[in-house]
Structure 1
Amino acid sequence: MSGMHDWRTVLGEVKASHLRLTGTLATLTEAEMRGPSALTGWTRGHLAHHVARNADSYWRLLEWARTGVEHPQYASAEARAAEIDEGAHLPAGLLSADNAAASARFEEQARTLPAGSRDATVRAVGGWPHPAWYVLYRRWREVEIHHVDLDAGYTAADWPLSYVRWELEDTLASLRAANALAIRSVTATDLGLTVRLGGDGPDLSLPSRPLLAYLTGRTEPPGAVPAAPSWPLAPAVDWNKA
Structure 2
Amino acid sequence: MTEITTSALLAELHQAAGIVTGVVAKIDDAGVKAPSELPGWTRGHVLAHIAGIANAMARQLEYAARGETIELYDGGYEGRTKAIELAAGHTAAEHQAEVGEAVARALAAFDGLPDSGWATRITYRDGTVLDGGLALWRELVIHATDLGMGRGPETWSRTFCEHLFDFLSARVPAEQKFVLQPLALPQLVIGSGRESVSITGMITDIAAWLAGRTPTLGSLRAVAAADGVDLPSLLPWPSGVPAK
Alignment match, 1:54? 53
Instruction: Measure how far apart 1:90 and its partner are.
Output: 0.9
Once the two structures are aligned, what percentage of the paired residues are identical? 25
After superposition, what is the alpha-carbon deviation per residue over 1:201-229, rounded to whole angstroms, capped at 9, x for unaligned?
53212221000011111027946112322
Contact 2:57 2:72 in 1 (8 A): yes
Shift of 1:199: 4.7
Aligned Cα RMSD in Å? 2.2
C-alpha deviation, 1:20, in angstroms: 0.8
On the 8 A contact 1:118/1:132 being kept in 2, the answer is yes
Q: Say if 1:72 and 1:123, in contact at 8 Å, map to a contact too.
A: yes
Distance 1:190 1:65, change over 3 A: farther
Deviation string for 1:127-185 (max 9, x for gaps)?
x311111211110000111111111211000112221222223323x345xx4574542
1:192 aligns to what?
A: 186
Give the structure-2-normalised TM-score.
0.84
Number of equivalenced pairs? 227
Counterparts of 1:143 and 1:180, CA distance in 2: 29
User: Is the contact made by 2:171 and 2:236 (CA closer than 8 Å) also made in structure 1?
Assistant: no
2:16 & 2:36 partners in 1: Cα distance? 19
1-structure distance, mates of 2:175, 2:18: 34
* Runs of 4+, deviation exceeding 6 Å: none
Deviation of 1:47 after TM superposition, in Å, equals 0.5
Which residue of structure 2 lines up, in the alignment, with residue 167 of structure 1? 164
Asked if the contact 1:156/1:210 (under 8 Å) is kept, the reply is yes
Aligned to 1:12, what secondary structure does the other structure show?
helix
Equivalence map 1:96-175=2 (5 Å): 96-124=96-124, 128-172=125-169, 174-175=170-171
Say whether the 8 Å CA contact 1:49–1:88 is kept in structure 2: yes
The answer to whether residue 211 in structure 2 is matched with residue 207 in structure 1 is no
Matched with 1:240 is none
Q: How does 1:231-242 map to 2 (within 5 A)?
A: 231-233=237-239
Q: Which residue of 1 aligns with 2:12?
A: 13
Q: Find out whether 1:226 has 2:202 as its counterpart.
A: no
Structure 1: segments with no counterpart, 5+ residues: 235-242
SS in 2 for 1:93: helix
Deviation at 1:36, TM superposition (A): 0.7
| One-letter code aligned to 1:92 | A
TM-score (norm: length of structure 1): 0.85
Cα distance, 1:94 vs structure 2: 1.5
Cα deviation for residue 40 of structure 1 reads 1.6
